[in-house]
Amino acid sequence: MQFSAAQIAAIINGKIDGDASTAVDSFGKIEEAREGQLSFLANPKYEDFLYTTGASIIIVNETQQLKQSISATLLRVPDAYIAFATLLDTYQQLKNQQLSGIQEPVYIDKTASIGKNVYVGAFVYLGENVTIGDDVKIFPNSFIGNNVTIGTETIIHAGVKIYRECVIGNKVTIHAGTVIGSDGFGFAPLADGTFKKVPQIGNVIIEDNVEIGANATIDRATIGSTIIREGAKLDNLIQVAHNVEVGNNSVIAAQAGVSGSTKIGNNVMIGGQAGIVGHIQIADGAKINAQSGVSKSIKSPNTVVTGSPAHEYAAALRSQALSRKLPELEKRLSDLERLVKLIHASE
**Each residue's pLDDT tens digit, 125-149:** 999 999 999 999 999 999 999 999 9
Instruction: Give the CA distances from residue 339 to residues 207, 327, 329, 331, 343, in Å, rounded to whole numbers and listed in that order.
Output: 68, 18, 15, 12, 6
Q: Is the pLDDT of residue 93 over 90?
A: no
Q: What's the distance, CA 128 to chain centroid? A: 31
Convert the pLDDT of each residue in 79-91 to its tens digit: 999 999 999 988 8
Nearest partner of 242 among 321, 183, 291, 316, judged by Cα: 183
| Type of residue found at 94 | L
| Type of residue found at 30 | I
Q: Is the pLDDT of residue 346 over 80?
A: no
Q: Is the pLDDT of residue 329 over 90?
A: no
The Cα 245–Cα 248 span in angstroms is 10
Q: Which residue range is the domain that position 303 belongs to?
A: 101-315
Q: Are residues 147 and 296 in the same domain?
A: yes
Q: Is the pLDDT of residue 321 over 80?
A: no
Q: Are residues 146 and 281 in the same domain?
A: yes
Q: Are residues 55 and 79 in the same domain?
A: yes
Residues in the chain: 347
CATH code, domain with 62: 3.40.1390.10
Sorting pLDDT into bands at 50, 70 and 90, what band is 311? Answer: low
Q: Are residues 29 and 140 in the same domain?
A: no
Domain count, the chain: 3
Q: Are residues 306 and 325 in the same domain?
A: no
The Cα 274–Cα 308 span in angstroms is 9
- Average pLDDT value for residue range 30-58: 96
Q: Are residues 170 and 31 in the same domain?
A: no
Q: Are residues 188 and 268 in the same domain?
A: yes
Q: Are residues 253 and 338 in the same domain?
A: no
Q: Is the pLDDT of residue 299 over 90?
A: yes
- Average pLDDT value for residue range 215-238: 98
Task: Spell out the alpha helix ranges (H) of 49-164.
Answer: 80-97
Residues taking part in catalysis = 242
Q: Is the pLDDT of residue 62 over 80?
A: yes
Q: Which residue has the higher pLDDT, 320 or 21?
A: 21
Convert the pLDDT of each residue in 1-29 to its tens digit: 789 999 999 999 999 999 999 999 999 99
pLDDT confidence of residue 153: 96
Q: Are residues 200 and 260 in the same domain?
A: yes
